[in-house]
A and B are shown apart, each in its own frame.
Chain A
Amino acid sequence: MSTATTRRRRAPGAPDWLREVLRRPAGVIGVVIILGLLIVAAVSLFWTPQNPFDVDPFHQWQGPSAKHPFGTTGTGQDIFSYLFAGTRTTVAVAFLSSVVAAIVGLAFGALGSLTARRVRESIAVLIDILIAFPTLLIAIMLAAVFGSSLWTVVIAVGIGFGVNIARVSRGEIRRVARADYVVAAQASGSGPWRILREHLLPNIAPVFIVQLSLSAAVAVLAEAGLSFLGYGVSSATPSWGRMLSILQNYVTIYPATVVWPGLAITITVLGFNLFGDALREATDPRLRRSRRGAGDAGKEATRVS
């Protein structure tokens, strides 16, 4: 019954859910995209092909070349280097938003499932109301009050998607909390923290990670939308959304340049969505039983921005 035996019983290497994900083509593509994103982001902290902020008035709007694979902007900035450096902003936004969403989701989810009936049901109603607030409107509201920064995006997506997570995890926590092994653990004297750490969290983890992956996708899209509306990260931070919104102004003259930031965002969002979908398929027993994805119409990825 001790922690040591539980640890020993666990299979070495990758957790089961990850191995299941990697058995699916969609999962492999998702994992590859996410890993690529992380690697580029890490490298960009030390090295970028060229200085992304270098302005070069003699090389404006250059086409693709060996020196500038994606061409240059109207100020002669190298688009490839800028996007390369912008990867870390994307990763930061996606990661931090998911952390905030996880905290909000877990807090509301636990309050909405483990408390007294009155409280529980009021929280459920509150969650249903908050879900109607689109992330982008929350972000605009926060930007109006606190000005625009990376944190506006992070907090808005964290709250906006957190309530979605709360709705999903609420049911999940209730299901697990009533399971025999939790009741048995309670009976044998485990405290609430121990039950939370050893039984609740591991069992809701797959469902939770699916939601976090989708929230990362939403965060990347929200950053693009907010940058376009003028509420993005500060101009000292390289960001894909900013590059997209700058280049779209010149779409009538230089339509080719706008493709690069657009593709970068699309591929990243696709990666997070594919990973989330593959993980859901791999871990949802209802989905595994019926290979066709029956009974799951309501669980498709939703777009909130």
Chain B
Amino acid sequence: MIRFLLTRIALLVVGLAVASILIFFTLRVLPGDVAQVIGGTQASPAQVAAIRTELGLDRPIWQQYGDWIGGLVRLDLGRSLITHTPVADELGQKLQVTLPLAGLSLLFGLVIGVPLGVVSALRHRKVSGFLLSGAAQAVAAVPVVFAGVLLIVVFALTLKALPTQGFPLDGWREPGRALQALILPALTIALVEGAVILRFTRSAALEALGQDYVRTAASKGMTTTRALITHGLPNVLLSVVSVIGIQIAGLIVGAVIVEALFQLPGVGRMLVSDVGNRDFTKVQSELLVLTALILVVGTAVDITHRLIDPRERERA
């Protein structure tokens, strides 16, 4: 077990290192001189050179990379090339929107996907089960933007129930209002991801239904539903845990799009506008934070899976 933990964590560190190298060096291929962009067209060559020195752009690229990584360890992500404010502060603030958004989306997605997945497995020979899995197949094909627009039409325009834009300026000071602003965006992601979770759960539940111990329980007089819930559910939930690991990337990407659609001040929207401004000290940190989030959750899910699966526990 300890061996497994160590390998998994080593793999996470290697993953983060590879991610940081890929991000840093891809962004350094950036055409155009950033110093020139900041200085504006009026800047004299001397001014541009001064900006370059100030930003440390005249130093060897490996040293620049070292500075960035060294700062990362101390939670110092450098300063914005344009506003000169510390990147870490702003990123921390934006994460207060993105993390709850991703968490809420996952919660909604599981609430939608898992029970319906079990139901559609139990009824896989009936019309209702067929329709349910067909609907999931269709919803999984909807682009996130379109899903969001449909929800806006239903909940905000027709039912006039939920706000469609923005986030309270004072953040979480009024938790109720902040949470309300996140509901529709989270539902948007959850609709699409929930459809995928539904299909995973359905396959897992179908597999459990085919197991001897569930069939035996059913033949001894339990209803199939009860047999599945009392005996098959642990296995179903195990695969649900692995789904979370796979879908975390979908949640993050969904968040980037949904933040733009609902005008939420999160990391995704920050990333999009910083790419537009070519503020690459910010872009590199934002990309790394989002990737790290995916890698860390993936590792956590793997470890959890190992911990709760008795078969895996014994093998270790």
B-binding residues in A (CB < 8 A): 125-126, 128-130, 132-137, 140-146, 217, 221, 224-225, 228-230, 241, 244-245, 248, 251-252, 255, 258, 261-262, 265-267, 269-270, 273-274, 277, 290, 292-298, 300-305
Contacts and interface: CB of A to CB of B under 8 A. Distances in A.
B261 A248 contact: yes
Nearest to B26: A141
A128 B8 CA distance: 12
Contact of A132 (B152, B204, B249, B276): B249
Contacts of B148: 248
B145 A300 contact: no
Contact of A294 (B22, B141, B210, B261): B210
A244 B210 contact: no
Given A228-B257, A266-B141, A294-B210, A132 B295 contact: yes
Contacts of B242: 297-298
Contact of B275 (A140, A225, A266): A140
Nearest to B196: A303
A298 B200 CA distance: 7
B217 interface: no
Nearest to A133: B291
Shortest 10 CB-CB contacts between residues of A and residues of B: A262-B146, A269-B141, A270-B141, A224-B143, A297-B203, A294-B207, A144-B275, A136-B253, A134-B249, A129-B15
B272 interface: yes
A211 to B, nearest CB: 15
A126 B252 CA distance: 21
B287 interface: yes
A305 B253 contact: yes
Nearest to B242: A298
A95 to B, nearest CB: 18
B224 interface: no
A141 B124 CA distance: 43
Most buried by B among A241, A265, A266: A266
A303 B197 CA distance: 11
Contact of B260 (A229, A274, A290): A229
A143 B275 contact: yes
5 contacts: A134-B252, A134-B294, A136-B257, A144-B283, A301-B140
Contacts of B283: 141, 144
A133 B141 contact: no
Contacts, number: 177
Interface stretch (B27-35, B39-47, B74-82, B85-93): B27-35
B157 A255 contact: yes
B153 interface: yes
Interface of B: 11, 14-15, 18-19, 22-23, 26-27, 29-31, 124, 137-138, 140-146, 148-150, 152-153, 157, 192-193, 196, 199-200, 203-204, 206-207, 209-210, 239, 242, 246-247, 249-250, 252-253, 256-257, 260-261, 271-272, 275-276, 278, 280, 283, 287, 290-291, 294-295, 298
A304 B275 contact: no
Contacts of B247: 302-303
Contacts of A132: 15, 19, 249, 291, 294-295, 298
Given A140-B271, A262-B146, A294-B206, A270 B137 contact: yes
Given A251-B152, A262-B143, A296-B203, A129 B253 contact: no
Nearest to B156: A252
Contacts of A221: 141, 143
B252 A303 contact: no
Nearest to B235: A297
Contacts of A292: 124, 206-207, 209-210
Contact of B149 (A128, A225, A262): A262
Given A144-B275, A230-B276, A300-B196, A225 B257 contact: yes
B29 A293 contact: no
Most buried by A among B143, B207, B272: B143
Most buried by B among A137, A141, A261, A273: A137
Contacts of A261: 146
Contacts of B278: 144
A108 to B, nearest CB: 14
